[in-house]
Amino acid sequence: MWDAVQRRLRALAFRGWRRSLGEELAEAIQVIAQQEQRTQAEVAADMLMVGLDRRRVAELNLARWHKLTQREQEITALVCLDLSNREIAERLMLSHETVKTHMRRILQKLDLHSQAELRLMYADWDFSQWLKGKK
C-alpha cells in the first residue's frame, strides 16, 4: 500500500504543485480507497500507521548505528555493500581475524546473528560513498 501512495504522489508531483500537499494527499487516499474498495478513513489510518512504523524503525536503526565505533561503522557499511571479510580486511589494511572480531562485536551490539541480517537492517541506507573513502 505504501508503495502505491508513493507512486501516486510522485505522479501528482510531475503535474506540478498546483494545489496544497493536503489536497494531493487526499486525492491519493481517495484513489487508493477506490482501488482497494475500502473507506478513505481506513486507507488514511493504514498509511499513518505504516509511516509511523517506518519512522520508528529508522530512528531505532540510527540509534543502533551510533552505538558502533567509527571502525565498526566503516565495516558495517562495507558489509552492506557486499564486500567479504577478506575484501574488507584488504581495503582497510587489517588482518582477516581483526575484521572477524569487529564483525562479532557489531552483530553482538546490534543483537543480530548474521551479516545477512545486518544487510537487511540497513538495506535502505546508501553506503555508496564509503566505497569512495567518504562518509
- Residue 124, φ and ψ in degrees, nearest 5: -95, 5
CA 120 to CA 135: how far, in whole Å?
Answer: 20
What pLDDT is recorded for position 29? 87
Distance CA(112)–CA(124), nearest Å, equals 17
Structural domains in the chain?
A: 2-58 (no CATH), 69-131 (1.10.10.10)
Per-residue pLDDT of the chain (135 residues; tens, 9 = 90+): 556 666 666 665 555 545 566 777 888 888 989 999 998 888 888 888 888 888 999 999 999 999 999 999 999 999 999 999 999 999 999 999 999 999 999 999 999 999 999 999 999 999 999 888 655
